[in-house]
Structure 1
């Protein structure tokens, strides 16, 4: 154990963390001895005290207006947070009360999120969810105050908020305007007895020097983040202040960045990466953060301007998903991007072709990471100067990882180095549980089977090598099971991505009456490519590791389906594969008008549409050969 009396405050806070060999020395000092702030609010107060006049936020109104940002210093950011939090406090928000936030990124959303964590609990919600899902998340969180994008910022979010208010699901609607919005602001409607007004205007007279309520403690809940959101009603994962602060420190401790490093942020603030990596972690070192416009990486105009933005603001570090780097690898470099030295990638496996294309195009090494909402955000990181092919990184300090095999009795058998099983995590970043209900004492939390003796089951298949690096093998639920044989879709995707014209790939199981599932693949290809689907089937067959994994078909699409944060959406591909299989199976049956397949509550549901004179019994007999949730509709 390190003698702490020989270490100064800065040495305690910022140990060397540049390579895998540094982990043991870091952990020789107990985490509780490092003097981390107690809460996200205390972290902001510390930053404002140390760097009051340093620029904290540079927010672009939109990609095409990147030369017209709104900027706020650290002291101004703290003042905004105080004003917003005091407004929430006057509206009755207390420590165990959630505040819902539904908006694209904008200058007001950043302090609003921090204010919600100060006055109560932030509950960010993806505005792209269905109205019923949003209503259920509001109910589950207990949020009665809604901070939402106004009609200028997101008309869909605003229309949804009006509907929620008219249904009596909230007591107050606090409205956000676009960054650098023109005056005057549009007039807002009167909705029964609901408070409706612009957040910044309503908070204008609030005290900006201090918070009038009781600041949060380390063990208090800071945020409720919904997981996924593309199927069923998402779960609400509860974060404690201690977990968010600890994870932010683990990220900020990276020796490759310093106080002068400018961070680029473009992921939506309803995602943990945006909160922890590009908001909280920079607070530790007073780093300036440049926030993209409301569409973030989904703004096509951003890519045409991206390298100019990097050069102008001297961007040093960025974080994005593989699909973003695949696009950037095709964007001509028209500016000096020498400032960019740390490009982080996560959220989904990084295809080898994307890595090689981006690094060859820019000279910047992509640094993989791994994490999930239930472990706050980040659990593993890589090192540019110590590449480990095939690994997503080494575990971060004070987090422990293990690979286990679940037994029939519910216990976990811990596996040895090199063996593949389910990855599990323990340590200070593991979440408090999922919100299952709420009573007078606050939110009821339950691990719902993911927590065993403080260890979190990630649901990811992985092995850990002898040096402690994590190698992922896909989601357990994404495995293609052909006749009882497990096939890792990544092996198929890697084979296809090795083709020089393939730009993205996704492999899934297609229903099969004999084997249960057979592998099929979907790809996108470079513009004006002449490669055919048959060519790609042959290419993959020659390169996958076993005959059973060779895809039966390869379908070329204009774009692969992704979630709102750019993660591959495998369920969408599985639905299409199901539809194609049933169309083929029913091709010889007269009067079949069509087949639809959709994702319903996390499973694939197929609908076969028949003409009124169709042989219904024959169709039912064919459908009965598959393990598919299906129904028949007769067209009149």
Structure 2
């Protein structure tokens, strides 16, 4: 492949047309993630590929060159092949980030299909995902690395769904490993020790093709149980290339990685993308961004390792902005933010504090990872960036009978995506050929219904204006509202329940719930909150508040209508926050273009800068007014929220 074909000029938004004049198939991309790794090892065998920071030792990372990484992947993949893993077999992976997990993830995609699991999910969800994946091999953290994860792994093994449990150790562990228990009917062994004598020079099995499945990622959806979204090798390579082609990502720039590997961003942005240009990736310790010890040291890490790019959620950047810049961080040029809305105050504070540009992006698991990204030198306020090359984005109106109508540029509707990064479907079963996949209503003629409300302008820049879907996004983590609703509906005195996201300056959103009670009910809001907390499997999904209403709002045809609830949750959040600087302020929230707009009125003499600083912490639309009169509702003043006179929600888009 020639350099001109692989790396077109991609410096400004105007280059998109010229890039797409050449078909993607003609650019000579590696066919699979394994081919991508093999290419990197051939081009830069002695260059450092990964440097992994072990616990409490930020100065001495565990380093592997591209050649060493490929050899390790061969060893692990050959072990999996010896255990019977074949092309259509999944390998489950459940561990905090560590050197062995990085290798194991790539090896699972070579020998079979990687199926990463979030160990913080409830045991019921983990078991359901494991059964749906069909994985008989689990690679998991051992007692040294993550005792709680190890306990979960042993419980899963006890259910009889596994044949083999391979245990990973902390990065650069030197002490003798702990003896592993005997589990009836299950082989239990340390991964690296078992792979020690496997062939490091080549893979003994059949290498994958572009159309073969590479990974199964669990994702939130419209039901209480996570779904498994299927990724092909071609999808992952294409999306990684689109990011690697982005201006500024050079071989000399170090990438910082701290998101967990069960997240698509960690795999595509910080594992696969750097392989294209031979970039070094510096991996944080097992806790990643959840490690409080990382933040006071972060600017020193940027200086020591010349970190040029990173990817995180808004709460990470808000936390970093609180620590003095005590090092030379001039290398940090691309700080990418996504997964949840970016508050204006977070953007402004971080950029003023560091001088580094926050690059907002947009993506979802069903479209591999990234679909739009901001140009640091061509910032468009109010957008999440321009669509990436070869991806098509449009807004559509979806009628109540499911008919799509394309909308012209700059008109708001449901955002839809097509192109080489769109997934083939969710896992719904298995047959003699492998996994049975179904779009479950999200795929229409190759287009993916994202569930997000947006308008796309004529240049392909995306302006998000809310979410048509009801997912609550807490710190980048998707929370299905039905989990909360089902827990509350289990109470004998609850007649109806609805959960929505309440804006939060730290987490982006937190779940809150509204309920209507059965006649004669005597249960109180605090008791209902305790009831829900005891029955919601995931602590992050437990509602912060439960509010009792006479009835929940519905549309003109009687379907649940959550926008008024979101408006009320927004009003309460804003009013609580600004009371500290303006005790007599009032807040009104109205629905505009499918999203909430908060109007805040303060008494004359109130410092507007103080109020604006508080409002800027929230990822919401707001306007500030000064008024001598009180207007707007008080907290708890009404127990009824009326829905606007609008048709069914499907027609709103």
Q: TM-score range by the shorter chain?
A: 0.7 to 0.9
Matching of residues 106-505 of structure 1 within 5 Å: 106-228=98-220, 232-478=224-470
What per-residue deviation string (whole Å, max 9, x for no partner) do you get for residues 85-138 of structure 1?
000000000000000000000000001000000000000000001111111111
Aligned to 1:606: none
Question: Using a 3 Å threshold, how does the CA distance of structure 1 residues 196 and 331 change in structure 2: closer, same or farther?
Answer: same
Q: Is the 8 A contact 1:318 1:343 kept in 2?
A: yes
Which of 538, 544, 551 does residue 585 from structure 2 map onto?
538
Q: Displacement of 1:466 after TM fit? A: 3.1
Q: Displacement of 1:448 after TM fit? A: 0.1
Question: Using a 3 Å threshold, how does the CA distance of structure 1 residues 133 and 354 change in structure 2: closer, same or farther?
Answer: same
2:36 pairs with 1:54: no
Question: Distance in 1 between the 2:129 and 2:232 partners?
Answer: 19
Question: Using a 3 Å threshold, how does the CA distance of structure 1 residues 322 and 90 change in structure 2: closer, same or farther?
Answer: same
Question: Distance in 1 between the 2:227 and 2:511 partners?
Answer: 26
2:5 pairs with 1:12: yes
Question: Distance in 2 between the 1:285 and 1:180 partners?
Answer: 26
Q: Displacement of 1:168 after TM fit? A: 1.2
Q: Displacement of 1:441 after TM fit? A: 1.4
Q: Displacement of 1:193 after TM fit? A: 2.6
Q: Is the 8 A contact 2:368 2:422 kept in 1?
A: yes
Question: Using a 3 Å threshold, how does the CA distance of structure 1 residues 151 and 48 change in structure 2: closer, same or farther?
Answer: same
Q: Is the 8 A contact 1:504 1:523 kept in 2?
A: no
Question: Distance in 2 between the 1:159 and 1:51 partners?
Answer: 40
Matching of residues 617-628 of structure 1 within 5 Å: none
Question: Using a 3 Å threshold, how does the CA distance of structure 1 residues 407 and 47 change in structure 2: closer, same or farther?
Answer: same
SS at match of 2:72: helix
Question: Distance in 2 between the 1:464 and 1:285 partners?
Answer: 31
Q: Which runs of 5+ in 2 are unaligned?
A: 473-499, 516-548, 554-563, 602-617, 620-634, 644-653
Range with greater deviation from structure 2 (27-36 or 186-195): 186-195
Q: Is the 8 A contact 1:326 1:503 kept in 2?
A: no
Question: Distance in 1 between the 2:552 and 2:128 partners?
Answer: 39
Aligned to 1:45: 38
Question: Distance in 2 between the 1:305 and 1:376 partners?
Answer: 32
Question: Distance in 2 between the 1:12 and 1:545 partners?
Answer: 45
Question: Using a 3 Å threshold, how does the CA distance of structure 1 residues 435 and 288 change in structure 2: closer, same or farther?
Answer: same
Q: Displacement of 1:232 after TM fit? A: 2.3
Question: Distance in 2 between the 1:90 and 1:362 partners?
Answer: 50
Question: Distance in 2 between the 1:382 and 1:236 partners?
Answer: 29
2:80 pairs with 1:31: no
SS at match of 1:391: coil
Range with greater deviation from structure 2 (225-234 or 64-73): 225-234
Q: Is the 8 A contact 1:505 1:521 kept in 2?
A: no
Q: Displacement of 1:477 after TM fit? A: 3.1
SS at match of 2:173: coil
SS at match of 1:65: coil
Question: Distance in 2 between the 1:322 and 1:304 partners?
Answer: 17
Q: Is the 8 A contact 1:537 1:552 kept in 2?
A: no
Question: Distance in 1 between the 2:405 and 2:3 partners?
Answer: 41
Question: Using a 3 Å threshold, how does the CA distance of structure 1 residues 364 and 241 change in structure 2: closer, same or farther?
Answer: same
2:81 pairs with 1:89: yes
Aligned to 1:520: 569
Question: Distance in 1 between the 2:400 and 2:283 partners?
Answer: 48
Question: Using a 3 Å threshold, how does the CA distance of structure 1 residues 277 and 461 change in structure 2: closer, same or farther?
Answer: same
Question: Distance in 1 between the 2:425 and 2:42 partners?
Answer: 34
SS at match of 1:521: helix
TM-score calculated relative to the size of structure 2: 0.77
Question: Distance in 2 between the 1:148 and 1:136 partners?
Answer: 17
Question: Distance in 1 between the 2:224 and 2:286 partners?
Answer: 26
What per-residue deviation string (whole Å, max 9, x for no partner) do you get for residues 591-625 of structure 1?
xxxxxxxxxxxxxxxxxxxxxxxxxxxxxxx99x9
Q: Displacement of 1:230 after TM fit? A: 12
What per-residue deviation string (whole Å, max 9, x for no partner) do you get for residues 269-311 of structure 1?
0000000000000000110000001110011110011001111
Range with greater deviation from structure 2 (140-149 or 11-20): 11-20
What per-residue deviation string (whole Å, max 9, x for no partner) do you get for residues 359-394 of structure 1?
000000101110000000000011011110000011
SS at match of 1:456: strand
Q: Displacement of 1:533 after TM fit? A: 5.8
Q: Is the 8 A contact 2:166 2:191 kept in 1?
A: yes
Q: Which runs of 5+ in 1 are unaligned?
A: 1-7, 481-488, 554-566, 569-582, 587-621, 627-636
Q: Is the 8 A contact 2:219 2:365 kept in 1?
A: yes
Question: Distance in 2 between the 1:530 and 1:437 partners?
Answer: 48
Q: Is the 8 A contact 1:243 1:376 kept in 2?
A: yes
Question: Using a 3 Å threshold, how does the CA distance of structure 1 residues 507 and 84 change in structure 2: closer, same or farther?
Answer: closer
Aligned to 2:605: none
When the two structures are aligned, how many residues end up with a matched partner? 540
Question: Using a 3 Å threshold, how does the CA distance of structure 1 residues 140 and 18 change in structure 2: closer, same or farther?
Answer: same
SS at match of 2:370: coil
Question: Distance in 1 between the 2:584 and 2:128 partners?
Answer: 44
SS at match of 1:300: coil
Q: Is the 8 A contact 2:315 2:507 kept in 1?
A: no
SS at match of 1:402: strand
Question: Using a 3 Å threshold, how does the CA distance of structure 1 residues 530 and 399 change in structure 2: closer, same or farther?
Answer: closer
Aligned to 2:97: 105
What per-residue deviation string (whole Å, max 9, x for no partner) do you get for residues 178-201 of structure 1?
111232000001112311000000
Q: Displacement of 1:585 after TM fit? A: 10
Question: Distance in 2 between the 1:475 and 1:548 partners?
Answer: 11
